[in-house]
Amino acid sequence: MAAVSELSVLLLALISNIHAEELIVLREERESLTFELPEEAGSCLISRCVGEEKLVLWNTSDLWPQNSSVPEDLKQRLVSVANTSSYMIQNLTRSDSGLYQEECWTEGNVTHERNITLTVCGSTGEISRVDVIPEETIDLPCPGAADHLDVQWLKQDYQSEQETWTRVFGDDTASVMDDDRRRYQVVENTSALRISNFSPTVINVFTCLVMKQQQCVSSHLSQFLQNPEMIIRSVGETAVLQCPVTDLSEEEPPHWQFETFNGDQGQLNFTGSFGDQSYSLVLTSVTLNNSGGYICHTSIPVKVYSLFVCPKSPPPAVELFSEGEEVTLRCKDWEKGHLYFWVFKSNRTKGRTFSLYSDQVRSNVRSDTDGSMVISDLSLQDTGEYWCAVIDKDRHCMSSTKTLLEHRDPFGVYSTFYAVRCSALSVLLLMLCVAVVTVTLRTRTRDT
C-alpha cells in the first residue's frame, strides 16, 4: 500500500508539472528514443500521456510494476542501457508518437523534470539544400503537402548539439511569425515556408512534417547550403571579399579561413573597416598562389568564396544586343579534357557574382559543346559582366575570358542612328574642309 500511495503522489506531482523543460524530437520508424536521467537522482518516473490517461513506462524505484497498464508490445521494446541511468524504446512506430515525461526526486525534492514530444514519421524525403542569400526572401519547399494534409514546420539551431526542434510558429493556428530578425510565413497552396530578410548570421535547419489524422506521414528537411561565390581575377588585380556581418551582439568577431584547392588550411588576419561594419578581406595584387577557398566565420560559416586567380587576360570584348535577341559568348582557349565555368555579375545585383549553372539564376542560358554559352530571349536584366575560366585537373586557372554584354541603345554610340549621324557629320565636315580649301586657293590666286 505504501508503494501504491507513493506512486499516486508522484503521478499527481507529474500531472501538475507545467514548468518542465520541453523537447521536440523527430524519429523515423524503427529508430529508438533514449531517456537520459541524472545518475544522482534518488528515484525517477518515465511516463507517457495518451489522451487523459498517463502510462508509467518506468519507475526506477521498482524493477517493474506487475500491474502496469503499458501495452505488452511496448514492454518488450523498453530496455535499460547497461551501466547507465538511461532507458530506451526500441523499434519505434508511428503509434509511439506523443508526449513523454520525465521527473526525478532526491530526498523528496524534484530535481529533474522534462517533457519530450516525440513524432515518429513514416518516411523521410530528400534533403532540400537552399543557397544562403543575405537579406533576400526564400521559399523552403514541403514536398508531399498536397491533398489538403496538415503541415507543421519545425526548426533547429545550426549549432545545436541535441537533436531537438522548436516550432517555427508558437501554435498550430499561426501562419505568420516574426523571430530572429526575420519573418516566417506559410505560402498558401504549396505549404512552403517563406523566410523574409534572411540573415546568414542566424542559420537554422528546417523540416516540415506532413500530417494525417495527427500522425506523421513524412518529413522533409531543408538545409542551408553555403554555395561558394565564384570570383575570377587576373594576376595583379585586387579581390575584395565581403563578410556580410551586421550584428555582433551575440556573436564572436569574424575571422577568415583560407584553404587551398589541395586542402591546406590557414588563418587570415582581418583587414577591413570596422566603422561601417564591413569585415572585408582585401587581397591586393593577387598571384596564382591566392587561388583557393575563403570562409568568413563567426560561430558559423557566414560567407564562402572560391577565388580563381588566372594569368593576365586581354581587355574585355563588348557584345551588344537588342531585346529578344540571342547571343553566343565564346570561352577562349577551352579544349576537351579541361574544365570551364561561367560566372556572371549583373548590373542590378549590387555586384554579387553568380555561377550561371549551379545557382540556376538564369532559365534562358545553355552551354554549347565547344564551351561557349548561349543566352536567348535577351532583356535588360541580362546586361553585365561575364567571365569564363578554363581550369585544369588540379583546379588551376589556365586562362580567362571576359565579355561585357551591353544593351544597344537605339540612339546610343553603337546604334545605327549614331553611325548614320556620324557618317553625315563626316561628309559635312569633309565638304566644309573642301570649301575652305577652295576659298583659300581662290583668295591666294586673286592676290597673286
Structural domain of 394? 317-407
Q: Quick check: is 259 in a domain?
A: yes
pLDDT at 327 over 70: yes
pLDDT band of residue 141 (cuts 50, 70, 90) is: confident
Radius of gyration of the chain (CA): 34
Find out whether 243 and 303 touch, Cβ atoms under 8 Å.
yes
Choice among 1-15, 149-163, 369-383 with the minimum mean pLDDT: 1-15
Q: Quick check: is 445 in a domain?
A: no
Domain final residue, candidates 195, 225, 255 = 225
Q: In terms of domains, do 7 and 116 share one?
A: yes
- b/e map of 113-151 (b: 16 or more CB within 10 Å)? bbbbbbbbbeeebeebebbbebeeebebbbebbeeebeb
Number of domains in the chain: 4
Q: What is the pLDDT of residues 257-294, one digit of tens each?
A: 888 887 776 656 555 444 445 678 889 899 998 999 99
pLDDT at 127 over 80: no
Q: Which of 251, 359, 344 minimizes the C-alpha distance to 301?
A: 251
Q: The pTM is what?
A: 0.58
Q: In terms of domains, do 6 and 97 share one?
A: yes
Q: Which of 71, 68, 65, 91 minimizes the C-alpha distance to 79?
A: 91
End-to-end CA distance of the chain: 146
Q: In terms of domains, do 299 and 332 share one?
A: no
pLDDT at 120 over 90: yes
Which burial class, exposed, middle or buried, applies to 290 when counting CB atoms under 10 A from its CB (0-12, 13-18, 19+)? middle
Bridge pairing between strands 292-297 and 164-167: unpaired
Domain final residue, candidates 64, 98, 121 = 121
pLDDT at 291: 92
Cβ atoms < 10 Å from Cβ of 380: 10
Q: Which three cell numbers mark 437? A: 580649301
Main-chain phi, psi angles of 27, to 5 degrees: -140, 155
Cβ atoms < 10 Å from Cβ of 442: 10
Q: Quick check: is 424 in a domain?
A: no
Q: Quick check: is 264 in a domain?
A: yes
Q: In terms of domains, do 141 and 217 share one?
A: yes
Q: Which three cell numbers mark 135? A: 537579406
Domain final residue, candidates 68, 92, 121 = 121
| pLDDT (average), residues 197-221 | 79
